[in-house]
Every structure is written in C-alpha cells, then in structure tokens.
Amino acid sequence: MTDFNNPLAKVRGLGSAKQGSAAWLTHRITAIANVPLVIFFVVSFVGNAGKGHAEWVAWLKQPLVSVLLILFIANFTHHMRAGLKEVVEDYIQSHGTKFTVNLLITFVCVLIAGLSIFSVLRIAFGG
C-alpha cells in the first residue's frame, strides 16, 4: 500500500508509531497475570490481618511468598503504567502536557517497583 505520510509527519507522532499492538498486548497480558496474583495478594492480606511486625516478616520471608510478591509488584506496575498512559492519551490534548504526564507516570511506576521490590528483598535476605 502506498504510504502518503511524509517522514516529518511520522516523527512528529502524526502517523502510526507501529508499537500500538505491542502496547495493547502488554496491557492484556499483565491483566491476565494479575488475576492469580491479586487473588494471592488478597488472600494473604486477609489471612494475616492484624498481625504484628515479626509475624509479617516471617510470612514474607517464605521464598514462595517473596517471589510471588515481587512478581506481583513487577506485573502490576507494568499494568498500571499501561493503564494510566491510556487514560492520559485519551483525555489530554496538548502534546507537551501529554509528554510530561506520561514521563511522570513512567518515573512513578518505576519508583514504586524499585522501592517495593527492594523492601521485599531486604526482608527476604535480612537477618
């Protein structure tokens, strides 16, 4: 098919970036993975409700729990970034604001992932 878009129009974001399907699929794949992970999360937190610091640490130190928590954090931050970006892309019109907010979303999601995963590892490997 003949492509009528000139290269400048494409780099300005006026043509397809050819990454839409990948972004769309990532959003759905992380959604599917979130189903069992959310069940694990909710069941665990209800099961440990009202426990003290030592009991929570002992629970988290179990290898399976540490791994599932890290996978949950990695997965939901990825999903969260995709979802928040989608909302921004739909409702914010100005290119500059859109770019800035999207950048902020990415940074916050990575920060959440970094801090949470580090905390889990610190407890898992801590004395």
Which of positions 46-75 make contact with another protein (CB under 8 A)? 46-50, 52-54, 56-57, 60
Which of positions 3-42 make contact with another protein (CB under 8 A)? 9, 12, 14, 28, 31-32, 34-35, 38, 42
Among the listed residues 23, 58, 67, 87, the single contact to another protein using CB under 8 A: 87
74 within 8 A of 37, measured Cβ to Cβ: no
* Binding of another protein by 115 (CB under 8 A): yes
Closest separation in Å from C-beta 103 to another protein: 16
Question: Residue 100 or 111: which CB sits closer to another protein?
Answer: 111
CA 124 – CA 45 distance, rounded (Å):
17
Residue found by looking up tokens 């940074």 in the block: 107
Residues in the chain: 127
CA 30 – CA 105 distance, rounded (Å):
17
Which residues, 6 or more positions from 70, have their beta carbon under 8 angstroms from its beta carbon?
Answer: 117, 120, 121
82 within 8 A of 27, measured Cβ to Cβ: yes
Binding site for another protein (CB under 8 A): 9, 12, 14, 28, 31-32, 34-35, 38, 42, 45-50, 52-54, 56-57, 60, 76-77, 80, 83-84, 87, 90-91, 93, 108, 112, 115-116, 118-120, 122-123, 126
